[in-house]
Structure formats: C-alpha cells, structure tokens
Amino acid sequence: MAALLISGCNPQPEAAANLPSTQTPVANTALAAAPTVGQTPASATLAPMPSPTFTPLPSPAQPAAEPTATPTRPVFAAAEMESESIEAVATESPLPPGMALTETSLTLPTYPFRDFLIEQIDPRYSMPVFYLDRPAYEAIGPAPTPVEYQAIVLENPYLALTFLPELGGRLYSAVVKSSGQEIFYHNPVVKPTRYGILQPAEANWWLATGGMEWAYPVQEHGYRFGVPWTYQVTSTVESITLTLSDTGPDRVGVEVAVTLPADSASFSVAPTLTNQGAEAVPVQFWLNAALALAPETMSRNTRFVVPANQVQIHSRGASGWQVPDSRAEITWPLIEGVDLSDYSQWTDYLGFFVPQDDLPFMGAYNPDTDLGVVRLPQPGSVPGHKLFAFGKDFWDKSYTDNNSQYFELWGGVNWGFWPEDDVSVAPGQSVGWQEQWWPLAQLGGLTWATPHVAIAVSANEGLGQLTALFARPTSGQLTVRAEDTPLLSEPFVAEPGSPLRWSISTESRPLHLQFKDDGGVILLDHCLGC
C-alpha cells in the first residue's frame, strides 16, 4: 500500500570498495539549501550526477486535512552549516501537568569535518549537496574537540526525549525513567564515515552519531543527517509536539512531528515530505534509528523480533554466511540452519527489507540489560521496513573511536532502496506516515506488541510466565485459554513502566491471550502456537 498522499502545499555504504555497509552506491546527490561552508580546495574532484530512474506513485489516498500549530521561533532563520547561538524554546500554550520542556546543551567530541565540506548543486532537486574533501581533511591529522550542541528535552513521567537540531534534527536520546536506561546508540564521537552514496566514495561523510535520523530525498541515509534543522514546539492539554523542519522554496522538504503524550510510555513520529518545486521528483523517504539497548555497545545476545515469514536481502557480508545475495527473498528467521533472530549467530553484516505493508511491529530485545524497543507503524500506512546490523565480529570500526556497535531499524514510504522503489511526488503534494516507538524496560523479552500492550512469554517444562507492559495507565481483564478451555481470567490495573506478571500453564497449545480494558476494547489478542 502506498503511503498517505496529501494534496496541497505544506505552509511552511556502499562505502569504499572494501567496506561493508548499509549503502548501495549511486551517483545522484542532493542536499537541502544551505550556504557554502569552509574550504573549497582546488584538488577536490566531484563526480557527475546522472538522474535516477523511478516508477510512478500509486494512486493517491484521500487527502487529509493539515494540522494547525502555534509557531515558535526557529533554531535558525535558514538551515546553516555553521553552529551559532540558538534562540530559546517558546510555546504559547501551557504544558500538560507532569510534563517538562527544557532547552539545554550537550557537549560531544567532534571531528573538524565541517571545514572541509564542498557544495555542489543537484539540479534534479535544486538542492546543494555537500562533499567532504577527504584528502585535505585527513592531511591535517584530524582529532576530536569538544563542541557544544543545543539540545531540546521533552519529558513526561515515563520518558525523556532529547533532540539535537544542529545535527540533522535527530532524536538523539530516549531514556526510560523507571530504569534510567537509554535505547539509542551513542557514538562517543561525531565523526565522518565513508558510508554514503556520494561518488567518489571518499567524499561521503555520514555521521554514525546515533539516535533517530530522517533520511531523504535519495536512498540510504540521505543527505540531511548533519545540517541544522529548524523546530517549533506546540502543546495541548494531552501532549507536547516538537516539529523538526528542513524546508525551502522550490524544492522537496521534510517536517517530522514527534509527539510525547502526557500519560504514555511511548511516543509517536509523523514524518511528512512535501514537494514545493515545479516538477514531480522521485524520492526516497525514511527514518532510521541506531540502537544499542545498552550503555555503550549492542550485546551479542540481542534478539530481533520481526513477525514475518519472509524477508528480502539488501546487503550482506561474505564471511561464513549461507545467506543469498542482494534482492533474494529468504525465509525468516531460519535460513540454512541459522536463526537470524539471534544476533549471536550472525557471522557478518546483514541488511534486509520486510516486504509487508501490514507489518504490525518490529523490535528487538537485549536480555543482558532487560531492555527492548518496538516500532509500531500505523497499519497499512507505510510499506518500508528494514533491519541492519554489522555482525558480532565485524572488523571495521572506523565510524567510531571505541569499537562500539549498533543495529538499525528503518521505516519509510518506499519498499526498498532500489531505483524502482522511488516514489514520485508531484508539485504541491506530500507523502508521509505515522508510527509509534516504545522503549521496553524489564519486560523479560518480546513476544508480541500492539500500541497498547507488549508481552513476553517464557516457558520451562510446561510452566510459563506472562509479563506485560502497558503504554498508558489501564485497567481491564486478562483471559487465557487453550482452545476452548479457560485457563485464567483475572482483572488487572497497570501503570506504564511497571510490568505485570502472571504464572500460566504452557503445556497446551495453541494458547490464546487477550487483554481488554474496562470498556471492552481489545488491547491485545494473540495466539501462541497458532
């Protein structure tokens, strides 16, 4: 199913040859409007940019009304590459009870790559693209120095979300307050990598900084990961929304609305891309989260939870793999005796798409830290789902200075990164979707999830434990039955961040689990062994 197409204007690697990556090399490039910055050495060589091929967008969905918002002062009057002081956060509406909005700063060791970025215009998108003059950059023997970045923090009683507008508008941090745990990967340095789609490959400078980034208008990580975005804050009696913007006249632009409800342990992400140019353009549009589920690096024991029977390979390493090449479709999770849901069995890097537009969720869990995350796309709203990880023994750590690792969960309007997956967006049209992200602490695993309930079921010789986390304060009834035989019926009262546990018999299969709230609304209905 195509992503939601909204009529009207919005007012407002492959890396170098031997580097495995999440990237596929292409030569077209684009970057949103920003002034030329830093040196422009004569020695730099820039490759030509052929136009990509694309396929027409499926018929648009019914137009949807655009939301209104109370504007606040932007971070920058325009997207600028150089850091400068940023105006204070402002909101004309009072914050909901129990919520906080804070402007602060975050100091990150940063390599001096910005002084070596070169601007070139991509005529297809009327957008500048920035290339790294790597020979000149490496000639200075670059080393990181402390750089202070503006940070915007949204909080409710359950979560603290931190955004870095100057680093691509990324959602940098999501901390579960009940446990103090962070779900995202945090690179100890802001460092340019060789990963990306620019040609020559050494001109790439994608930042594996961590957090959640917004990737557009071309495939992979896009080009807006390292430039400042503007933002505005709005609030209602129920939530706070931070809208991050990277827009400009006569080109495609993006707004991402991240909403934190006052009473929820999850948050929503709603990206929207609008074409304000004069011609239809082919786009790729994704969000990408770099996750560790641990303080420094992801665990070898991480488990990936993808409720699908088939996936499509995007890229893979060669070492010890029985996984087929790019574009091949394989069964999930077992392939040639390897359980791909178990990261300890990965022998090299792997990236794959999940070709299922009704995928209910995808997630991961780290049993070492008892911390997980689940991504819940709005049903049928977006076809793109992707997972990437390096493999537990991946040799190249040039993207960091401490040998740390992460994995990536993606969502987007495209089926994949290939040219035939491009979506054509006409002048004045928008494409977007909405999904929910939910950090899970002390759940003990991840068996199934809905926007309301996440469960983990463990079993040992017929004796099992059902653990549940609820996104919001909820009361209702749990029923468990084996076919037509009732095994358990019990009321519950739940608070986000406080898991509930029940002992159940797992001898009989299939086992049917259902949670209803006091109004009779089904919150989760799942069958084990069906």
| In the chain, domain spans | 4-55+70-441, 448-528
Q: Is 71 helix (H, G, I), strand (E, B) or coil?
A: coil
Paired strand residues for 330: 311
Q: Which residue has the tokens 């008892």?
A: 370
Cβ 374 vs Cβ 349: under 8 Å: no
Determine the residue type at 339. Answer: D
Cα–chain center distance at 79: 22
Asked if pLDDT for residue 422 goes beyond 50, the answer is: yes
Model confidence at 431, in pLDDT bands (50, 70, 90)? very high
Q: Which two tokens stand for residue 455?
A: 């469960």
| Closest alpha carbon to 481 in 448, 435, 514 | 514
Alpha-carbon gap, residue 371 to 369, rounded angstroms: 5
- Measured from the Cβ of residue 109, the count of other Cβ atoms closer than 10 Å reads 15
Please write the tens of the pLDDT for every residue from 1-18.
Answer: 334 333 233 333 333 333
pLDDT, mean of residues 337-352: 96
Alpha-carbon gap, residue 269 to 441, rounded angstroms: 20
Integer CA distances (angstroms), 9 to 42, 48, 224, 282, 433, in order: 40, 31, 21, 17, 16
Report the alpha-carbon angle 406-162-212, nearest 5: 40
- Residue 203 carries which DSSP code? G
Pick the CATH number of 448-528 from 3.40.50.300, 3.50.7.10, 1.10.3720.10, 2.60.40.10: 2.60.40.10
Look at 23 and 343; give whichever has higher pLDDT: 343
- Residue 139 carries which DSSP code? H
Alpha-carbon gap, residue 89 to 169, rounded angstroms: 15
Strands 448-449 and 453-460: antiparallel
Cβ 22 vs Cβ 388: under 8 Å: yes
Asked if pLDDT for residue 159 goes beyond 50, the answer is: yes
Cβ 141 vs Cβ 50: under 8 Å: no
Alpha-carbon gap, residue 344 to 352, rounded angstroms: 17
Asked if pLDDT for residue 500 goes beyond 70, the answer is: yes
Entry field: residues in the chain: 530
Prediction pTM value = 0.84
Asked if pLDDT for residue 264 goes beyond 70, the answer is: yes
Please provide residue 138's backbone torsions phi and psi, each rounded to the nearest 5 degrees. Answer: -75, -20
| Closest alpha carbon to 167 in 303, 290, 58, 278 | 290
- Going by CATH, does the domain composed of 4-55+70-441 fall within 3.40.50.460? no
Q: Is 116 helix (H, G, I), strand (E, B) or coil?
A: helix
Domains 4-55+70-441 and 448-528 share a fold: no
Q: Which two tokens stand for residue 85?
A: 């002081």
Alpha-carbon gap, residue 325 to 160, rounded angstroms: 40
Cβ 395 vs Cβ 344: under 8 Å: no
Q: In 84-126, which ranges are E strands?
A: 100-110, 117-122
Alpha-carbon gap, residue 401 to 297, rounded angstroms: 12
Please write the tens of the pLDDT for every residue from 186-210.
Answer: 999 999 999 999 999 999 999 999 9
- Measured from the Cβ of residue 145, the count of other Cβ atoms closer than 10 Å reads 9
- Measured from the Cβ of residue 194, the count of other Cβ atoms closer than 10 Å reads 23
Report the helix count and the strand count for the chain, using DSSP H and E: 1, 36
Cβ 38 vs Cβ 115: under 8 Å: yes
Asked if pLDDT for residue 22 goes beyond 60, the answer is: no
Cβ 155 vs Cβ 102: under 8 Å: yes
Report the alpha-carbon angle 427-435-211, nearest 5: 95
Please write the tens of the pLDDT for every residue from 106-149.
Answer: 999 999 999 999 998 888 888 888 999 999 999 999 999 999 99
Please provide residue 431's backbone torsions phi and psi, each rounded to the nearest 5 degrees. Answer: -135, 135
Q: Which residue has the tokens 């995007």?
A: 314
Alpha-carbon gap, residue 340 to 20, rounded angstroms: 18
Q: Is 34 helix (H, G, I), strand (E, B) or coil?
A: coil
pLDDT, mean of residues 86-100: 71
Integer CA distances (angstroms), 21 to 206, 319, 338, 399, 507, in order: 12, 14, 21, 11, 44
| Closest alpha carbon to 222 in 262, 173, 161, 169 | 169
Model confidence at 395, in pLDDT bands (50, 70, 90)? confident
Q: Is 312 helix (H, G, I), strand (E, B) or coil?
A: strand
Cβ 244 vs Cβ 255: under 8 Å: yes
Asked if pLDDT for residue 526 goes beyond 60, the answer is: yes
Q: What percent of the chain has pLDDT above 90?
A: 72
Strands 463-470 and 500-505: antiparallel
Instruction: Look at residue 131 in the predicted model and tell me its pLDDT.
Output: 95
98 sits in the region (left: phi over 0; alpha: psi -120 to 50; else beta) called left
Instruction: Look at residue 505 in the predicted model and tell me its pLDDT.
Output: 84
> Highest-confidence range of 59-63, 88-92, 515-519, by mean pLDDT?
515-519
